[in-house]
């Protein structure tokens, strides 16, 4: 005759608590690692975009990026990267340049700056919180 399941596997509260604690700790470590990795990638990309702009116009990264956005000598992809970097830097000085390129129409990536990236950058420059950027700044 078989033993009932309850008699074979007694409830062990300590074991469950230990599993939950370990699982929570592993989850927190993974979230922290993701946040650190993401901030490192963002910081590196902003630095690269700033360096490209500063190579042409030495001085302040924000003004150099603004000039980069305005320059028709660069590809739209490079200018969009500068728009994104300005948003990550969240400097209100960039607002006039960013707002100048807003068309209010859908994105035309082969003809104009990305309207979605412009709107995100404008929101960030106006003070919308950016938690990850506040870590690497």
**Residues 119, 30: Cα–Cα separation, whole Å:** 31
**Residues 97, 118: Cα–Cα separation, whole Å:** 10
| Alpha-helix runs per DSSP H in the chain | 5-8, 13-56, 61-70, 76-89, 95-100, 115-125, 131-136
CB 84 within 8 Å of CB 71: no
Q: Which two structure tokens, joined as six digits, stand for 106?
A: 């859908």
Q: Which pTM value belongs to this model?
A: 0.77
- pLDDT means over runs of 10, the chain (137 residues): 55 82 95 90 94 93 96 94 96 96 90 94 91 67
CB 125 within 8 Å of CB 91: yes
pLDDT of residue 80: 96
């Amino acid at each position: 005759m078989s033993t009932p399941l309850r008699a074979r596997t007694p409830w062990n509260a300590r074991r469950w608590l230990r599993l939950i604690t370990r699982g929570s700790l592993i989850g927190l470590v993974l979230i922290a690692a993701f946040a650190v990795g993401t901030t490192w990638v963002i910081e590196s990309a902003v630095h690269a975009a700033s360096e490209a702009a500063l190579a042409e116009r030495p001085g302040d990264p924000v003004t150099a990026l603004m000039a980069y956005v305005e320059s028709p000598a660069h590809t739209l992809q490079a200018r969009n990267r500068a728009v994104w970097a300005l948003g990550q830097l969240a400097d209100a000085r960039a607002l006039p340049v960013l707002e100048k390129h807003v068309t209010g129409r859908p994105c035309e990536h082969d003809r104009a700056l990305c309207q979605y990236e412009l709107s995100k950058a404008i929101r960030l420059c106006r003070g919308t919180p950016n938690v990850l950027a506040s870590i690497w700044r």
